């Protein structure tokens, strides 16, 4: 079965309620966000501030559930690079709900199991194929977490891409931030706003600082 057929099978199993489905991805936010258009009084030239972006990005690792009436968005935002170790711990802790995260995979085979099997869909970014992450595939499957890699150059199949677009262009009206702290706070607020919009009936949103 090809990658496209495999993705269809994953979707069908999720729609049948046999397993949960999560779309995982990373996105970076710089102090100066893209500005497609702006408004100004007639005769007044608008000025859009531009901030230095060097070493001032906020990176977000997130996952969006793909089934159920109330999609769940979980994420973590950091002021540093996202690496394979962080992705592994995020999958274990935030998606699988393992109490001790990836640390539970380091020792003897764990008897812990997710309440229901799930598939984590992601692209072919280097950190997703790193040995530190992909090398734990058997251990992840043993606890009920399966990894599925999308076909190359198919971002339209990863539903969380829509979240990044909405957060960057709709949920962050301020387009320039003078410090990493203010950018980080704005990203957290925007992600919270987007999670609330996706799941209006959910009273408890899972989030980390």
Could you report the per-residue pLDDT of 45-75, keeping only the tens digit for each?
Answer: 766 666 666 667 999 999 999 766 668 999 9
DSSP assignments along the chain, one per residue: --HHHHHHHHHHHHHTTSSEEEEEEEEEE-SB---------TT----------TT--EEEEEEEE-SSSS--EEEEEESS---HHHHHHHIIIIIS--TTTTHHHHSSPP----SS-EEEEE---HHHHSHHHHTTHHHHHHTTEEEEEPPTT-GGG-THHHHHHHHHHTS----B-SSHHHHHHHHHHHHHHHHHHH-TT-S------
Of the pLDDT bands very low, low, confident and very high (cuts 50, 70, 90), residue 2 is low
Higher pLDDT among residues 5 and 26, named by residue = 26
**CATH code, 66:** 3.30.420.10
The pLDDT assigned to 190 comes to 96
Residue 62 placed within a domain = yes
Does the pLDDT of residue 28 top 90, yes or no?
Answer: yes
Residue 46 placed within a domain = no
Residue 208 placed within a domain = no
Residue 27 placed within a domain = yes
Tell me which residue range forms the domain holding 161: 3-31+52-198
Higher pLDDT among residues 95 and 56, named by residue = 95
Q: How many domains does the chain have?
A: 1
Residue 181 placed within a domain = yes
* pTM, to two decimals: 0.84
Residue 97 placed within a domain = yes
Residue 13 placed within a domain = yes
Does the pLDDT of residue 180 top 50, yes or no?
Answer: yes
Residue 45 placed within a domain = no
């Amino acid at each position: 079965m090809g990658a496209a057929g495999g993705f269809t099978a994953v979707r069908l199993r999720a729609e049948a309620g046999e397993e949960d489905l999560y779309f995982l991805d990373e996105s970076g936010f710089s102090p100066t966000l893209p500005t497609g258009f702006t408004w100004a009084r007639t005769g007044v030239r608008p000025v859009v501030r531009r901030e230095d972006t060097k070493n001032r990005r906020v990176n977000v690792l997130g996952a969006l559930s793909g089934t159920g009436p109330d999609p769940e968005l979980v994420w973590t935002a950091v002021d540093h690079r996202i690496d394979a170790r962080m992705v592994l711990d995020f999958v274990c802790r935030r998606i699988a709900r393992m109490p001790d995260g990836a640390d539970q995979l380091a020792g003897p085979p764990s008897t812990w199991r997710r309440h229901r099997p799930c598939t984590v869909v992601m692209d072919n970014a280097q950190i997703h194929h790193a040995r530190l992450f992909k090398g734990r595939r058997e251990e992840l499957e043993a606890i009920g977490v399966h990894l599925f890699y999308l076909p190359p150059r198919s971002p339209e199949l990863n539903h969380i891409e829509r979240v990044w677009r909405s957060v960057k262009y709709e949920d962050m009206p301020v387009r320039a931030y003078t410090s990493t702290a203010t950018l980080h706070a704005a990203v957290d607020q925007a992600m919270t706003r987007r999670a609330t919009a996706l799941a209006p009936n959910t009273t408890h949103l899972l989030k980390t600082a």
